[in-house]
Structure 1
Amino acid sequence: MVQSQAAVHFGEGTKLQIEVVEVADPGRGNVLVRMGASGVCGSDRHVLDGDWEMPSPTVLGHEGAGTVEAVGDGVTDVEPGDHVILSWFYPCRRCTACLSGKAYVCTGSRSEECVLPDGTTPLTLDGKPAFAYLAVGTMSEYTVVPESAAIRIPKEVPFDVASLIGCSIATGVGTVVNDAAVEPGTSAVVVGAGGVGLSIIMGLKLVGANPIIAVDLNEEKLAFARELGATHTIVPDDDLAAQVAAITEGGAAYAFEAIGRVETIESLPGLLAPGGSAVVVGLPPVDAPVSFDALELAESGKKIIGSNYGSTVPGRDFPKLASLYLAGALPVDKLISHRISLPEVNEAFDAMRRGERARSVIVF
């Protein structure tokens, strides 16, 4: 058992507290990881702001990377000293979805319960059970995860870059490549230039989309979008569809929503050309249904695609994304606007709520 400083949410309020938790030795099939970096992501903010209910107390953080310190019995994928990216949705590797190559919709994972496959938690706080958010809890110096959540990568990849590959990059690039299957030369608009939106823009540039339009209210984020591949940026007015149509000669082939707001999700079909595809990437609060004009969708041949984790298969996709970074094709480091210490995490979330920064990353 090791002691670890961690950012803990106690189920009430919007602030995290820095506490010392005890992390158990890795049991059979599990891996102890000393964290190198953890992203500060909008999905963590959903928990803090009461949009999603989780067991508490909860060590937040779900995109992270670090070094394997120890492994439990039966672990063969990694060994002490390996550098790994953590997957926030660990696959069971046994269900029909996993066996058909769709780990992103695994039905056997207990990740969303914030527990290990056997239903236990490796964390305690003041002698009582604590939970790791999505079974990884990356805002902690140490964590224990299932073997299938720890994906080995080259040691040349910095931990701050690797941490973002585990969520925002995998989601953003994956939704372009896996979900939408965007073809070179096709037009795309991305609504929301936060961490995931900027990752989508990087993915669109990677596959050769053109034009690439970024939409956001924040000029600083639009500047990041231009640096990462956007050919056009828009501060939306009352008729965003007309603004997009003017650039794309009638509407985009693909429209991505990366915020999770009902209003912006509902706007997606209006941004499309006939036959276009709208991709819902942003995650709204629980019980927040959206409405579309089904007749218009049918008559215009438009599609609505739901994207979960960019249809990422971690063991397949994390090493690919790491290799693209090392080859200079995926400039993930440009996405990081602030590198912070663990005690600065609340300030990072406050900046996120104000619509500021690209990505903040905790460096241990």
Structure 2
Amino acid sequence: MKTKAAVLFEVGKPFEVVELDLDGPAQGEVLVRVDAAGLCHSELHLLSGALPTALPIVGGHEATGIVEETGPGVTKVKPGDRVVCTFVPACGLCRYCSTGRQNLCVYGDVPDGPLWDGTYRFHLDGRDVGSFRQLGAFSERLVTSERSIVCVDDTVPPEKAVLVSCGVPTGFGTATETGRVRPGDTVVVFGIGGIGINAVQGAVHAGAAHVVAVDPVAMKRETALEFGATHAFADAAPAIERVRTLTGGEMADQALVTVGEVDQEVVQSAQAAVGKSGTVVITGLANADFEIHAVSDWLLTREVDIRGCIYGSMNPQTDIPRLLDLWRSGRLRLDGLVTATYTLDRINEGYQDLRDGKNLRGVVVFD
């Protein structure tokens, strides 16, 4: 079949929207007609080359849509089901899945490009085209493993369902799971984008007494306050001083780093923000060769924990429906997260808006 998709052919160049050939689903795979796809900051790393991958590749790792066809052996879904795609697969059998750590499933270690069997579903003039995170969400249709989809209630609007594909669980879980925020804690969130705004929501949901947002963009600071942050600052230094005042010098319990690109300056600010037994969570991406530096005496004498985070340490197969239940009950906000929607032909405009700080989250809506 044919599908229109946004393809990256060369690092440093924009996506090109072209028509591709798409194979049908093989063993254990599902064909999804995509309704909506999220514009995540991760693709900016893909475009710049900071996230190395084989090219050409169809971008996009956040999507929702309707199952059109299933391959042999598929038992999870049937044609007509609404699904949310997740860039973190879950086989349910490996040591990580079976111990409640689906975000670390061994099938997530497969390189970007081919699917799990080493073959491709997208093609252009006889040339294989890869799928980012084994999804390739910037396409009218995609084929992926049933491990990478979660069935959700078909009454959930696409523009809401797509948000729980990546941004909401990654941010929310950064606070509640990886950061382990508890009632009464003081939390600092560095970077209020599609991930950081949901880290704010997660910290509020967990009962934090103080949630301090740090972002240079005024719109993002204002939105953080609307979503429950108690304080918002453009720079780290005044935020850290306010934390010192709020806590009587004991400093924050958690510093959550959710900036679009992690550098040593924000890591040092996060370390300065936390007190004894505090936790620094690194959720944002960095260049492949970036190294995190910490003073060993500071780590030892203060027992500070520095933790990496993928997908908010969440289990997509159970936590995506759980987050939608929180939304239905009014305890999680999805309204207000999407700043703008785009057609696929305007995808590069959407990413320029993200670079320019205009969007919390942009979404591509398919006809």
TM-score by length of 2: 0.95
1:83 match: 82
Instruction: Give the drift of 1:93.
Output: 3.3
Cα offset, 1:129, TM superposition:
0.6
Q: How does 1:1-364 map onto structure 2 within 5 Å?
A: 2-236=1-235, 238=237, 240-250=239-249, 251-259=251-259, 260-262=261-263, 263-364=265-366
Contact 1:11 1:55 in 2 (8 A): no
TM-aligned CA distance change 1:98 to 1:64, over 3 Å: same
Q: Determine the C-alpha separation between the residues in 2 that align with 1:228 and 1:238.
A: 23
Deviations 1:184-215 (A, max 9, x none): 22110100011100010111122221211100
4+ residue runs of structure 1 moved beyond 6 angstroms?
Answer: none
Q: Match for 1:217: what amino acid?
A: P
Q: For the aligned residues, what is the CA RMSD? A: 1.5
Contact map agreement 1:269 1:297 (CA 8 A) in 2: no
| Counterpart Cα distance in 2 of 1:104 and 1:237 | 30
C-alpha contact 2:165 2:320 (8 A) present in aligned 1: yes
Gaps in structure 1 of 5+ consecutive residues? none
The offset of 1:114, in angstroms, is 2.9
Question: Contact conserved, 1:110 with 1:116, CA < 8 A, in 2?
Answer: no
What is the SS of the residue equivalent to 1:143? strand
Q: Secondary structure in 1 aligned to 2:68?
A: strand
Aligned residues: 363
Assess if the C-alpha contact under 8 Å between 1:115 and 1:134 holds in 2.
Answer: no
CA displacement, residues 161-194 of structure 1 (integer Å, 9 cap, x when unaligned): 2112111111111122221221122110100011
Closer, same or farther: CA 111–226 of 1 in aligned 2, 3 Å:
farther
In structure 1, how many angstroms separate the alpha carbons of the residues matched to 2:13 and 2:222?
A: 29
Conserved 8 A contact 1:5-1:141: yes
Does the CA contact (< 8 Å) of 1:157 and 1:326 recur in 2? no
- Comparing 73-82 with 298-307, greater Cα deviation is found at 298-307
How much does 1:110 deviate?
A: 4.9
User: Which AA in structure 1 matches 2:163?
Assistant: L
Distance in 2, matches of 1:248 and 1:8, equals: 49
Q: Distance in 2 between matches of 1:109 and 1:172?
A: 19
Contact 1:186 1:209 in 2 (8 A): yes
Distance 1:49 1:244 in 2: 35
Deviation at 1:348, TM superposition (A): 1.4
